[in-house]
């Protein structure tokens, strides 16, 4: 593996604790809260235990792109729009319409 590739890989591995990953998770939490769905109900829709939701929301578990799509669809949200908002640097919005801290 080239040195530049190795460095990029190390940075990716650390992204679970990055500000950007935290913002992505904050957006998912805000989307869940806006939809009025509790963690347990979302877990049921996904066929997962409630701890799956709790762990990714707490930053203890990383989600992949397939899980991101499944989660947003289970919330009745548009995964493409949510991801575009993330890429555009938008802050998560809580159910009361205020930006949340990521």
DSSP per residue over 2-60, as a string? -HHHHHHHHHHHGGGGSHHHHHHHHHHHHHHHHHT--HHHHHHHHTS-HHHHHHHHTTS
Q: How confident is the model at residue 97 (pLDDT cuts 50, 70, 90)?
A: low
Cβ atoms of residues 96 and 35 within 8 Å: no
Which domains are seen in the chain, by residue range? 3-87 (1.10.260.40)
- pTM exceeds 0.85, yes or no: no
**pLDDT tens-digit profile of 80-96?**
999 999 999 988 766 55
Average pLDDT of span 60-73:
96
């Amino acid at each position: 593996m080239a040195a530049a590739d190795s460095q990029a890989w190390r940075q990716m591995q650390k992204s679970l604790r990055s500000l950007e990953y935290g913002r992505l998770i904050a957006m998912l939490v805000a989307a869940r809260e806006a939809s009025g769905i509790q963690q347990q109900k979302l877990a049921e829709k996904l066929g997962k235990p409630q701890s799956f939701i709790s762990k990714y929301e707490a930053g203890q578990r990383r989600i992949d792109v397939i899980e991101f799509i499944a989660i947003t669809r289970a919330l009745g949200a548009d995964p493409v729009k949510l991801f575009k908002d993330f890429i555009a640097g938008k802050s998560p919005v809580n159910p009361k319409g205020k930006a949340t801290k990521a």
